[in-house]
């Protein structure tokens, strides 16, 4: 931690210079409002002071844990923004790395996997998610994969698929799996294979959670079955370092998810214990605002219910809203128009900041406002659907979000 202590000492001597040394370099886009890259508060910011006090404890004194959860739809399932934010935060000091955290095996369900880790599978798996009709009980991760195949397995590697300037090693020595069998819980036993070692779990049958403790740090684990009766459903996997000191940035995202999608996950509140977030970054809203009959009141009411669950778990959890990015709607073949609901949602996020004493990172304005997604596409920073970004576009957004968080943290340190 000596590097951080030295930097903080210099920060007190020369705050403007040292604040810049923390920041990631952002390319210039004439049409964007990068000069307005700040977190705004329209209510009380006291919960952020709790969060930053935990950052102080970690960075200055080398004590305690900091947990951040980034939750959303396809932008989060893609993983790049979360990965960049995580890597930027961990670059503050190599001693604060507590591993990857949430790592749902999307590849086993034949859908895209987040960029922060790799997944492969064998055997047959059936996938369901909270964004569409589902027939399984879901948890915090918002998805499930189910198998009846005794030979089925899932391999997870905490290896980032997209390289960046500050890629981190995300080794782990504990694996947590949530899941359940349609038979007696003892009749189906998932095991963890690490190298030549086969690990049997400590089982929390009440919470349907399996804990695997590794004798050393590893970057790859395979989940298989010692016995399998009927079907077994996996609803979540977490890869972490059991060290009592460090920072974890969890990505929880499901393609197509709306706010209500997570409210439909029966075990959402139970699984919050796996993350115990100090800061929740909300990136949910693009799919809500895609509807022609988008209701900002219903949107805010759904968010109030979700926030209530999180606050019941941790009353001092800091909340940060990311406003929707600008998007276009396809009206006919090769014809798109800007979705004006982005402006309506922007104002809803501002109002929720006031109601819930949360911060707002106004991505909609920072990227350039209504119609700007086409300009990002022209720069090869957004995809042809004019909803999602390219890897490079997400990386810029991740660095911008990190810079905005660090600006507030530096202001906290000055006080």
239-269 as b/e, with b when 16 or more CB fall inside 10 Å? bbbeeebbbbbbbbbbbebbbbbbeebebbe
pLDDT class of 326 with cuts at 50, 70, 90: very high
- The mean pLDDT value for 225-244 works out to 95
* CATH numbers and ranges of domains, the chain: 1-94+247-415 (3.40.50.1110), 99-242 (2.60.120.1360)
Note the pLDDT of residue 331.
84
Which residues touch 189 (CB under 8 Å, ≥6 apart)? 200, 201, 225, 226, 227, 228
For residue 226, the SS3 value is: strand
pLDDT class of 4 with cuts at 50, 70, 90: low
Q: Is the pLDDT of residue 217 over 80?
A: yes
Residues 228/130, Cβ–Cβ less than 8 Å = no
pLDDT class of 304 with cuts at 50, 70, 90: very high
Q: Is the pLDDT of residue 8 over 60?
A: no
Identify each DSSP E strand in 219-376 by its residue range.
Answer: 220-227, 232-240, 246-253, 279-283, 318-322, 328-332, 335-338, 359-361
Note the pLDDT of residue 162.
74
Length of the chain: 415
Q: Distance (Å, rounded) from C-alpha 259 to C-alpha 254?
A: 11
Note the pLDDT of residue 272.
97
φ, ψ of residue 15 in degrees (nearest 5): -60, -40
- The mean pLDDT value for 177-203 works out to 91
Residues 81/394, Cβ–Cβ less than 8 Å = yes
Q: Distance (Å, rounded) from C-alpha 160 to C-alpha 100?
A: 10
Angle 199-106-198 (CA atoms, 0-180°, nearest 5)?
Answer: 10
Q: Is the pLDDT of residue 147 over 60?
A: yes
pLDDT tens for 102-114 read: 999 999 999 999 9
Q: Is the pLDDT of residue 256 over 60?
A: yes
Q: Is the pLDDT of residue 219 over 80?
A: yes
User: Considering the entire predicted model, what is its pTM?
Assistant: 0.94
Residues 353/40, Cβ–Cβ less than 8 Å = yes
- Helix intervals (H) in 27-93: 46-61, 74-78, 80-90
pLDDT tens for 335-347 read: 899 999 999 999 9
User: Pairing state of beta strands 101-102 and 232-240?
Assistant: antiparallel
pLDDT class of 183 with cuts at 50, 70, 90: confident
For residue 3, the SS3 value is: helix
Note the pLDDT of residue 371.
97
Q: Which of 86-90, 186-190, 322-326 has the lowest mean pLDDT?
A: 186-190
pLDDT tens for 57-83 read: 999 999 999 999 999 999 999 999 999
- Which three-class secondary structure string do you get for 74-98? HHHHHCHHHHHHHHHHHCCCHHHEC
Q: Is the pLDDT of residue 17 over 50?
A: no
Note the pLDDT of residue 186.
65
Q: Is the pLDDT of residue 237 over 80?
A: yes
Q: Is the pLDDT of residue 165 over 70?
A: no
- pLDDT above 70 covers what percent of the chain? 93
């Amino acid at each position: 931690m000596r590097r951080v202590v030295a930097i903080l000492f210099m920060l007190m001597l020369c705050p403007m210079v040292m604040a810049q040394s923390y920041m990631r370099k952002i390319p210039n886009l004439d049409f964007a409002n990068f000069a307005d890259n700040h977190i705004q508060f329209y209510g009380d910011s006291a919960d952020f002071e709790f969060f930053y006090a935990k950052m102080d404890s970690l960075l200055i004194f080398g004590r305690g844990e900091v947990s951040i959860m980034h939750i959303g739809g396809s932008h989060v399932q893609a993983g790049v923004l979360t990965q960049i934010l995580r890597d930027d935060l961990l670059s503050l000091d190599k001693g604060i790395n507590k591993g990857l955290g949430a790592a749902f095996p999307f590849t086993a369900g034949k859908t895209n996997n987040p960029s922060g880790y790799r997944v492969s599978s064998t055997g047959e798996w059936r996938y369901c998610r909270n964004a569409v009709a589902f027939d399984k009980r879901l948890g915090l991760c918002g998805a499930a994969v189910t198998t009846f195949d005794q030979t089925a397995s899932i391999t997870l590697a905490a290896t980032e698929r997209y390289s960046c300037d500050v890629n981190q090693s995300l080794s782990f020595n504990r694996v947590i799996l949530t899941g359940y069998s349609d038979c007696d819980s003892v009749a189906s036993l998932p095991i963890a294979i690490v190298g030549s070692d086969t690990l049997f779990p400590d089982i929390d049958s009440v919470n349907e959670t399996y804990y695997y403790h590794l004798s050393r740090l590893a970057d790859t684990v395979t989940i298989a079955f010692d016995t399998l009766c009927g079907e077994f459903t996996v609803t979540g996997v977490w890869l972490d370092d059991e060290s009592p000191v460090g920072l974890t940035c969890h990505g929880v995202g499901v393609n197509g998810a709306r706010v209500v999608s997570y409210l439909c996950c029966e075990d959402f509140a139970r699984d919050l214990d796996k993350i115990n977030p100090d800061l929740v970054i909300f990136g949910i809203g693009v799919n809500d605002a895609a509807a022609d009959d988008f209701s900002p009141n219903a949107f805010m009411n759904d968010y109030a219910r979700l926030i209530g669950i999180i606050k019941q778990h941790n009353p001092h959890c800091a909340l940060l809203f990311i406003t929707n990015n600008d998007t276009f709607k396809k009206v006919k073949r090769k014809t798109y128009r800007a979705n004006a609901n982005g402006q309506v949602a922007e104002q809803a996020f501002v109002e929720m900041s006031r109601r819930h004493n949360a911060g707002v990172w106004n991505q909609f304005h920072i990227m350039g406002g209504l119609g700007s997604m086409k300009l990002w596409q022209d720069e090869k920073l957004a995809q042809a659907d004019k909803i999602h970004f390219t890897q490079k576009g997400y990386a810029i957004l991740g660095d911008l979000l990190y810079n905005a968080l660090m600006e507030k943290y530096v202001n906290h340190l000055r006080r």
